[in-house]
Amino acid sequence: MATWQRNDAPGFTLVEVLVAMTIVAVSLLAALRVATQGVSHADELRGRLLAGWVAADRLAEHRARGDWLPVELGWREEVSATPNAAFHRVDVFVFVPAQPAHFLAHSTGFVVDPSESGR
């Protein structure tokens, strides 16, 4: 008949090893989930960066041409007067055409009114 002997040798039991492995596995899965979310947010950040460039380019184009006509191709421009009649404030909002209420970028600049700059 088999008899059990108590072994006082140092070490971990099978249950302790399994619990430790479970804790490590859950921790690694949590870290993997965070890394995956970071990758998915990279596309959103890339879109916002490009939208900022588009907004800055639109303001530069208005300054270069000296016109005041807004163009609706994924961005919206709001032109408003300033205390100085020679300048106009231009707010450019860039958005995805399917979601015009969700702005990816907003840029503000000031352009010189060509009719007022000759004074």
Residues 6+ apart with CB under 8 A from 103: 93, 94, 95
What top-level class would CATH report for the domain 14-112? alpha beta
Q: How many CB atoms lie within 10 A of CB 32?
A: 10
Question: Residue-wise over 50-83: b if at least 16 C-beta within 10 A, else e?
Answer: ebbebbeebbeebeeeeeeeeeeeebebeeeeee
Contact 52, 107 (CB under 8 A): yes
Sheet with 87-96, side-by-side order of all strands: 75-81, 87-96, 99-112
pLDDT digits (tens, 9 = 90+) for 86-98: 888 999 888 877 7
What confidence score (pLDDT) does residue 22 get? Answer: 94
Q: Which two tokens stand for residue 27?
A: 């921790």
Contact 110, 116 (CB under 8 A): no
Q: Average pLDDT of 56-71?
A: 71
* Residues listed for the chain: 119
Q: Average pLDDT of 9-18?
A: 84
What confidence score (pLDDT) does residue 20 get? Answer: 93
